[in-house]
Amino acid sequence: MNATPDSARVPRGQAPADKSRVPLVIVTGMSGAGRGAAMRVLEDLGYEAVDNLPLSLFGSIVPSEGLAGRGLALDVDVRTRDFSEQRFNEMVDALFALQGVDGRMLFIDCDDEALRRRFTETRRRHPLAKDRAVLDGIQLERRLLGDLRGRADVLIDTTALSVAELRSIVTGHFALDPAGLAVTVMSFAFPRGLPREADLVIDVRFLANPHYVDALRRLTGLDAAVGAYIAADAAYAPFIGGLESWLVPLLPRYKQEGKSYLTIAVGCTGGRHRSVYVAERIAAALVAQGHAVHLTHRDLPAPKDAHEALELTRKDTVAS
């Protein structure tokens, strides 16, 4: 069981400590990753949203008055006039240092192959590719963005997210009046990489693996037969009991410290059986304790008609 480190400057998902300060979210990231979708969520949450603002004008539109009860979201990408990483960092530092401003940076990312596929399938050119291959534009953009990804207070990787899941994550981190601690429980497969947004990672590969039972291999952790097989493992009952007794008192402490969003990731080898079943059990236990829980299975294929893919729309291509 591992906990991923929070951002060094502002803990991810932490609610603003002083409600008299104006929440300021600077949104950046890769073209086609979903920045436009994230900005629309922020606008729906009550933020004043401004797209593609030149860096030279950043300071002039961040008054501490007139935004009472609202926040300000600024979108910037490499196509913004006079963009440079150094100048961007200088302007961000100046904005975040203003009295009456509570600033955080959101970086929207996505795997290069998924970005290439999104641009190719929608037949839209990457804004930096011009007459070159899409992948050339993606790689150039990564170079231009430099270390901004590492500086971000909140990093969201949309590679395997639906629009609804992106909305849930953005809302959890940036709601202006959060009702409490929003929890996401996610199953995943270790060979496909750790979820980048995870705060707590739980490894359940020690449990009996249904993959090696012919009758269970094609089923998932959502099926009763798979659940019964895993629950019959002698190690399961003490593990799940101990985990629940550890998590239940932990979450209120996170909330007490001002954290508004928490992601619990449960991993196994294939992301199909054990992690799915345990994630379902954890989510049910937290719901029973009165927590708002969003449950998702990252590496479990969803029916096409039940999964709204995060693909490029015309607005995403122009403004993202």
Q: What is the pLDDT of residues 99-121, one digit of tens each?
A: 778 889 999 999 888 888 888 77
Sign of the Cα torsion 246, 247, 253, 259 reads: positive
Strands 2-3 and 200-203 turn out to be antiparallel
Q: What is the pLDDT of residue 274?
A: 97
**Domain boundary assignment for the chain:** 2-160+310-319, 182-298
Tell me how far apart the alpha carbons of residues 232 and 226 are, in angstroms, rounded to a whole number.
10
How far from the centroid of its chain's Cα atoms is residue 194's Cα?
13
pLDDT at residue 233 above 90? yes
Average pLDDT over residues 284-306: 78
Average pLDDT over residues 260-282: 94
3-state secondary structure 16-28: CCCCCCEEEEEEE
How far from the centroid of its chain's Cα atoms is residue 66's Cα?
30
How far from the centroid of its chain's Cα atoms is residue 276's Cα?
19
Average pLDDT over residues 197-226: 95
As beta bridge partners, residue 2 has 201
Average pLDDT over residues 134-152: 83
Q: What is the pLDDT of residue 20?
A: 67
Classify domain 2-160+310-319 by CATH number: 3.40.50
Q: What are phi and psi of 287, to 5 degrees?
A: -60, -40
Tell me how far apart the alpha carbons of residues 188 and 39 are, in angstroms, rounded to a whole number.
27
Model pTM score: 0.64
Q: What is the pLDDT of residues 43-76, one digit of tens each?
A: 988 888 888 777 667 667 665 555 556 788 988 8
Q: What is the pLDDT of residue 126?
A: 75
Q: Give residue 268's pLDDT band: very low, low, confident or very high (50, 70, 90).
A: very high
3-state secondary structure 26-82: EEEECCCCCHHHHHHHHHHCCEEEECCCCHHHCHHHCCCCCCCCCEEEEECCCCCCC
CB 186 within 8 A of CB 282: no
Average pLDDT over residues 314-320: 35
Minimal CA–CA distance to 163: which of 34, 295, 319?
34
Between helices 274-288 and 236-256, what is the axis angle to 10°? 50
Q: What is the pLDDT of residue 94?
A: 83
Minimal CA–CA distance to 157: which of 194, 190, 120?
194
Q: What is the pLDDT of residues 171-209, one digit of tens each?
A: 888 888 766 778 889 999 999 888 878 889 999 999 999
3-state secondary structure 231-247: HCCCCHHHHHHHHHHHH
